[in-house]
Structure 1
Amino acid sequence: MPAPLAVFRALADPTRLRILALLREMELSVGELAQVLGQSQPRVSRHVRIMADAELCERRREGSWIFLSLGKAGRSKPLLAAIDGWHDPSAERWRVADAVRLAAVRSDRVAAAEAFFNAHAAEWDAIRSLHVAETEVEAAVTAILAAAPIGRLVDIGTGTGRMIELLGARAERVTGIDRSPEMLRLARAKLAQAGLEQAELHQGDMYALPLADGSADCVVLHQVLHYAQAPAAAIAEAARLLAPGGRLLVVDFAPHEREELRERGAHARLGFDDAQVAGWFAAAGLETTAVRELAGHALTVKLWLGAQAPRHLKAVA
């Protein structure tokens, strides 16, 4: 079926027009769409399938949830521009009602995030008490990356989305990756509050990232590497994403002997030394360009910055 015909057939339904408008505002799960639309999940899923077949939306699985976002800009932008050019008073009541229900979805996300934080606050506070304040770490992250534009940012193991909050305003495009659907839902709530709802969040493994080669200008591994059973493989996979001249920032701990973090915190590695990280960078085709150290009460935080050589320099070498 020709693309224009498939698109207009897909939108020949009021519910699907509403779905398009909602996905324009924010990424939503099928369940959240059903909540906003006041329809059953099976019915909403049928509408979504039709739209996905016409490439008007994209589906992504996170655990047992399916999240939806607008399709590629080349397909969706002309349609949205046309819709904006038509004033339909009969549709206004739906827009108002949907906006109210969408606000309720945002509130539900925030409530879930607060509950998660409350449940884990003591555990996270115990680790934070061992090293310098987060504000110092974040200031060091900002400073070490200040020499060049952020460009396309990828945050691996994004967790609560804090690195995206910190750096997202300076980035052209932002993508967060995490294995945990619960953490991704938490990040969505926090990023919505920070006005960063357009950040892309994907479920994925640090050893097999769901992104193309050369798709990032800056990749961050913030307090993630100590969970890796194979740190060298994680760094190599992160480096794969870098475009020529791209940068990889690793923020983690220097070597320490806090065995309780291995036993209770699931830390696979008790910190890293400069030689280890430099060796992994070199094996991944990166040059170590900066190292920073922030000594704390019991743990020292280190920042290692590696850079991908521009393609023309590689050719000369």
Structure 2
Amino acid sequence: MEQALTIFQALAEKTRLRILALLHEMELSIGEVAQVLGQSQPRVSRHVKILADATLIERRKEGSWVFLTLGATDVLEPVFMALDRWTVREPAEIHADRIRLQAIRNVRATAAEDWFETHAAEWDALRSLHVSEREVEAAIVKRLSVSPVGRLVDIGTGTGRMMELLGAGASTVIGFDRSPAMLRLARTKLAAAGLEQADLRQADFQVLPLPDRSADVAVMHQVLHYAQHPAAVIAEAARILDAKGRLLVVDFASHNREELRTRDAHVRLGFTDAQIAAWFQAAGLIFAEPVALAGELTVKLWLGQRPD
């Protein structure tokens, strides 16, 4: 009863309902929420504190930024069910918020696309700045060697290195990337490696043009830290996995290298095991013990598997 009272009190204000609706769409910084709502950051911060105290949202400090995300599913699920039941038509303010939110999405996506177009030729070198790429690739092969690769999907393929590394042991190989420059390089590289049969397609990692259960292994190598909504990207990757299908996420452990956000267009400064485990679980994947490769920045290999 005490928790219910706290939740209803927290939601008894239009701005806080708008904030909750925004975070239902994607994770945002406090500054981005203020931008969408057209309010000052101090005012938004006061609303955020009330929502956080009611466990409806969570605050996560990452470098100099504070990100906001929804709280636990068991708390939020009945709240959103009630709001959906009570809302006959979407309020005008929330509809306008969605339009402004899309503008933020577009700015983020354009910045990332411009960076990839500019740095495509040096992509492989950039990825190996922190831990030896040879060490990372050996760990990837070992992690996936317990069973055949089968149908391989490389999400955010870049220059096609994961397809080149794992393609020989796969029955089919498909790679997706948003950047035309990256795909051009990947086609040249894979042809030189004798993998002309590899299928390269331009697509967004949140909307993969593949049917359910069409992959045995999906790989995201140094891709997730560019995602605006990592949970949605993992859920989409899990969707295409067949029974016993595996998703391997290779990325940085949580860090505070703020310059990677501004210099290299990283949206997220790495991830914790708890974050990845929660996203895997929400996507219906069994979380395996992660592998850590220490370097200037620690690289983690997180493996999830769809149940039989």
Query: Does the 8 A contact of 1:290 with 1:306 survive in 2?
Result: no
TM-score w.r.t. length of structure 1:
0.58
Asked whether the 8 Å contact 2:121–2:185 carries over to 1, the reply is no
1:256-282, CA deviations, whole angstroms, 9 ceiling, x for partnerless residues?
111111001110000000000000000
- The C-alpha deviation readout for 1:163-216, integer Å capped at 9, x for no partner, is 000000000000000011111111000000000000011110010001111000
2:189 partner amino acid: K
Q: State how far apart, in whole Å, the 2-side matches of 1:235 and 1:119 are.
A: 24
Distance of 2:189 and 2:118 partners within structure 1: 11
SS at match of 1:290: coil
Structure 2: distance between partners of 1:290 and 1:183 = 32
Question: Contact (CA 8 Å) 2:216, 2:244: kept in 1 or not?
Answer: yes
Which has more radius of gyration?
1
For residues 119 and 286 of structure 1, the distance between their equivalents in structure 2, rounded to whole angstroms, comes to 32
| 1:226 paired residue number | 225
CA contact (8 A) 2:127 2:222 kept: no
Aligned length: 192
The aligned counterpart of 1:79 is none
Determine whether 1:264 maps to 2:263: yes
Match for residue 216 of structure 1? 215
The residue that corresponds to 1:275 in the other structure is 274
CA distance in 2, matches of 1:243, 1:119: 32
CA-atom RMSD in angstroms: 1.7
- Structure-2 residue corresponding to 1:81: none
User: Is the CA contact 2:127–2:133 (under 8 Å) kept in the aligned structure 1?
Assistant: no
2:293 partner SS: strand
Report SS of the residue matched to 1:304. strand
SS in 1 for 2:205: coil
Instruction: Evaluate the alpha carbon distance shift between residue 155 and residue 119 of structure 1 in structure 2; reply closer, same or farther with a 3 A threshold.
Output: closer
C-alpha distance after superposition, 1:59-100 (max 9, x if no partner): xxxxxxxxxxxxxxxxxxxxxxxxxxxxxxxxxxxxxxxxxx
> 1: distance between equivalents of 2:284 and 2:248?
14
> What is residue 309 of structure 1 aligned with on the other side?
307
Distance 1:183 1:119, change over 3 A: closer
Q: 2 CA distance for matches of 1:119 and 1:253?
A: 20
Report the CA distance between 1:286 and its aligned residue.
0.1
**C-alpha deviation, 1:126, in angstroms:** 5.6
The separation in 1 between residues aligned to 2:176 and 2:292, in whole angstroms, is 26
Matches within 5 A, 1:1-317: 120-121=121-122, 125=125, 128-129=128-129, 131-297=130-296, 299-310=297-308
Q: Are the counterparts in 2 of residues 212 and 241 from structure 1 also a CA contact under 8 Å?
A: yes
User: What one-letter code is carried by the residue in structure 2 that aligns with 1:308?
Assistant: R
Q: Deviations over 1:275-302 (max 9, x none)?
A: 00000000000001231000002x0000
Offset of 1:239 from its aligned partner?
0.3
Question: Distance between the aligned counterparts of 1:283 and 1:232, measured in 2?
Answer: 8
CA distance in 2, matches of 1:184, 1:234: 20
TM-score calculated relative to the size of structure 2 = 0.60
